[in-house]
Every structure is written in structure tokens, then in C-alpha cells.
A and B are shown apart, each in its own frame.
Chain A
Amino acid sequence: MLQVETTIRKSRLDKEGVDMSLGAITIAKRELKSLIVSPILYVVGGIYALLLGYQFLQSLIFFDAQLQQAKVQAQLMKNPDALQGISLNELLIGAVINFGFFLLLFSVPAITMRLLSEEKNQGTYELLATSPLSSWELVLGKFLAGVGFIVLLLVTHALFLGIMFGYGNPEVLPVISGYIGFILGGAALVAVGLFSSSLTRIQIVAYFIGLFINIVLLQLANGARSTSGNLSEFLSKASITMNFEQFNRGIVSVSGVVYFVTLTIFFLAATRIAVQSMKR
């Protein structure tokens, strides 16, 4: 009996796999179209751009102060090595991207909170659930739309990067690696937000569940700093910001990629289970 049941499940999964990408793209396209006409995108994007710009200004002032100090030091002590320690990549670009990622912890749930809870609330989930669309396609489509939002947010980085590369001479590779981390980490945060959106039909509740999970993932870094030994190492490997900082320093490590991909898959799988249980 049990065996029969598992084979039935298997065959259903196989069938669900058909046209998988097609349905997911249908969902993602519609979601992005709705996102573009939604005020949430502009409020979140606007605040994000404002805060990022302010951080850029602060970092610029800090960088300038460090540079002046190093120049004086180099002249007085006749030590030209003092200037070597001033890295445009680390002090300025790295700091801004890092802050941009930190802001994602708060802004991604604001975008993802509606992804599934709104479908439930306005009854459109009934259309999706009775259409030839597998739960994986639905979850994947919503996820892709969320990743699309992360990519849209990168537009707000364009001005700052333009100034950096226009007037300075930073290294390119650490910047690219930083943005690989930004997108991978952002995707993981979208998966977290999607999961919290699948739990409730009230958007603000979804926001705070998502925010809570994000803050836990962030606070692991503090835990890592205040502990020592194996525990500290474990916490630092589990912290979302510490993994991101690796990328931001120009290190694309296997462990970092595995961390973000695992986090994403875990929360997408959890979302799928929640979506299936929405059909009573």
C-alpha cells in the first residue's frame, strides 16, 4: 500500500516537472508587471536609494579623512607604505555595497510580503490552484520575481559605481565578487520572505516574520564575535552577513556559494510545503 502510494507520488512529481519553467515564467512576468505599477516598489526603492546615497557620502568623507592622514604620515615619516594601506575598494566601495546588503534585510520582506499572502487574500490563489500549474512552478515563479526586484534595486547602485569608476581607479574583480554575493544573498532573503508570505494572508504579519528570520541570520554574526572556538566558527559560517562579507572582500568561496544556495533551497522547499497545505 505504502509502495503504491510512493509510486503514485513519484509519477505526479514527474508530471509536475513538465512545462515547469513555462509556468514559473508566466507567474514571474505577471508578478513583475504588478510590482512595477505598485507604490511599494517606489517607496522601498526610494528609501533604499536615499540611505545608500547617504552611506556613500559618509564613506567618502571617511575615506578622504583616512587618505589625508596617510598622506601627512607618508610625508612626515617619509613612509610611502602608509598610502598602500588605503584601499578605495575596501574603504569606499566595499563599505557601500556592504551597507546596501544590510538594507536588503529590511527591504526585501517589504517586497516579498505580498507575493503569496495577497493571492490568498484576494482569492486569486483559487485560480492558480485550479490551473495546470504545479506548486513548484508557483513558488519558483514568485521567487524569480523577487530576484528581479533585487536586480532592479541594483539600478540604485549605478550612480555611485559610475562616480567610482569615472573618477577613481578601483579594482574590478572585488566589485564583481561583491555583487555576486549581493545577488546570491539577496536571492536567499527573497526565499525567506516568500516563505513568510506563504504562512499568512496578512501582509504586515508576513513582513515581520520575514524580518525576524533575517535578524536572526544577522545576529548570528554578533554571536560569533562574542563566543570563541568551534561555536564561534559555526556561528560565523551560519551568519548571513559574514558570508556576504567574504564575497565583498573579493573571495568567491565554495562555502559561501553553498551557504546561500542551501539557504535558498531550504526556504523554497518550505514554501512549497506551505503552499500545498493551503489547499485544504
Chain B
Amino acid sequence: MIKAEHLTKSYGPFTALQDVSFEIQKGEIVGFLGANGAGKTTTMRILTGFYQPTSGKATVAGFSVADQAMDVKKRIGYLPETPPVYPEMSVEAYLRFVLELKLVPREKRKDLLEWALGKCGLSHRRNSIIATLSKGYRQRVGLAQAIIHKPPVIILDEPTVGLDPLQIIEIRNLIREFSGEHTVLLSTHILSEVTAVCQRVIMIHRGRIVHDQQIKDMSAKRSLEELFLEVISKDPASLSDASSGNNNSKVSAG
């Protein structure tokens, strides 16, 4: 459903992503785990077509992100790092705008609006102006925006950031419900989130994929925390030498 092939992204001399490849099957919920600045957001932006990769190729739902952008955009829901909301609009007006923007047929809009408001716990705040909402509620509006058109592929950049513990549990339950029908890629730097929600974890460190494993295959002895710390404490240079053997002095410098 999502396929990244040798994605590289550089900003001038700084390489944010280097040779990132992975594949996500339909219905999988995958956690994208990494420290701040590891390249999670960059990868997600490339998958959604917001950034052009410097090299490499991304495919979503069988369509090339670079050449068939419209087909890809019709099939994804995306929650960016900061919820993309218009502060002067009411929650309901904003979500109606998103439904129109996502080309949802008129007759389906009302049901989907109610569904998303209910799922994200926004029904009682539907007439609130977004500027007056707390950070947690804005995050919910952002999440509602990403799922409202029930896209086959959902990409969430740190979906639970800014939420209180109760809200986090609700949102995690919501994401778990998507399993099977929707393909979800969510990024986080909270380790427990991955084990709570995801079926698989992809770890990224300094712009490289350093680990990729099914959660159920993980040994009971070694927790995710230990694994993560072990992976990121390794010098990325030695990792890449072991795997591909190419030069990556840029990465370690950055």
C-alpha cells in the first residue's frame, strides 16, 4: 500500500534522509519511531507529496507520488505536525470545508461529518471557533480532518502530542480500529505508543532506517526501549557499512 524506494532528501549540505526503503501492506498499522529530527516528518511529507525527494521513488496505493500526485492525494488522509486548521472557523465549518476539498460527494458529507465528530469526541464542540479550543481539541480537529473522508491510507505525524492521558487512550483506540481496512503510518517518539497501537515498528535514526520488525516477533527479554537505545547508540556509519557499505560521512557530520 505504501512503498518507499531509496528515498533521499537533502537540504543543501544537510542530508535529512538517506536511502530510506520500506514497504507497508494493506491494513497494517505501522509505527515510525525515532528521536526528534531523525527524519520522520520528512519521510511523511515525501509520501504525501508535500516534499519532492532529492532521489528515490515513493508509491502509495499503487500510484507514483511524483507522477500521479492527484491519484495519491485522493487516497490519503494526513495529519501534519501542527494541525492544519483555520483558527477563525468553527469546527463544523472547517470539517465541511475539508470534505469538499477531499472531493467527497455531497450526499455522503453529512454522515461522514457526524461520524468524524463522534469518533474524535468533538460532537459537543462542533460550533466552537477553533481559535478558542485547547491544544488537545485542536489536535482532535486535526485528526478528524485526516480521517473524515475514510481514506485507504492514513498518515499521522505525532497524533497524540499535546493530549491528556485519557484523550491519548481514546485516540489510540480509534487508530486501532482502523486496522484491516485502512493502512496507517504514524510517527512518534513515545515508545509505549508503538507497542500499544502498532503491529510493526520501523525505527529511523539520522535519516536512515535502522530497524524494522513485527511487534509480535519481538522477544520478551528485550523490550522496545532497550532495542531502541541499542539501535540509536550505534554509530550510523558502522550500521550502513554493515548493510550497504556506501559512504555516509555527510550523515554523521550532520
Contacts and interface: CB of A to CB of B under 8 A. Distances in A.
Interface string A13-38: 00110110011001000100110011
A132 B80 contact: no
Nearest to A126: B80
Nearest to A36: B88
Interface residues of B, number: 32
A225 interface: no
A127 B80 contact: yes
Contacts of A34: 86, 88-89
Contact of A280 (B52, B70, B103, B145): B52
A180 B83 CA distance: 42
A66 B52 CA distance: 66
B98 A132 contact: no
Given A123-B80, A132-B70, A279 B86 contact: no
B73 A132 contact: yes
Nearest to B98: A127
Given A12-B67, A26-B101, A130 B78 contact: yes
Among B51, B86, B87, residue most surrounded by chain A Cβ atoms (within 10 Å): B86
B93 interface: yes
B74 interface: yes
Nearest to A19: B103
Nearest to A27: B101
Interface in B173-190: none
Chain A contact surface mostly:
helix
A129 B49 contact: yes
B115 to A, nearest CB: 19
B80 to A, nearest CB: 4
B50 A126 contact: yes
Interface string B46-79: 0011111000000000000001011001101010
B97 interface: yes
Contact of A279 (B51, B84, B87, B89): B51
A222 interface: no
Contacts of B101: 23, 26, 127-128, 131-133
A134 B103 CA distance: 12
Among B76, B83, B101, residue most surrounded by chain A Cβ atoms (within 10 Å): B101
Contacts of A132: 70, 73-74, 101-103
Nearest to A11: B67
A132 B88 CA distance: 23
B5 interface: no
A169 interface: no
Nearest to B102: A131
Contacts of B80: 123, 126-127
Interface of B: 11, 45, 48-52, 67, 69-70, 73-74, 76, 78, 80-89, 93, 97-98, 100-103, 145
The 8 closest A-B CB pairs, nearest first, are A127-B84, A130-B48, A132-B73, A126-B80, A123-B82, A124-B84, A26-B100, A132-B74
15 contacts: A30-B86, A30-B97, A122-B82, A122-B84, A123-B81, A123-B84, A124-B86, A126-B50, A126-B78, A126-B80, A127-B145, A129-B50, A130-B49, A131-B101, A132-B102
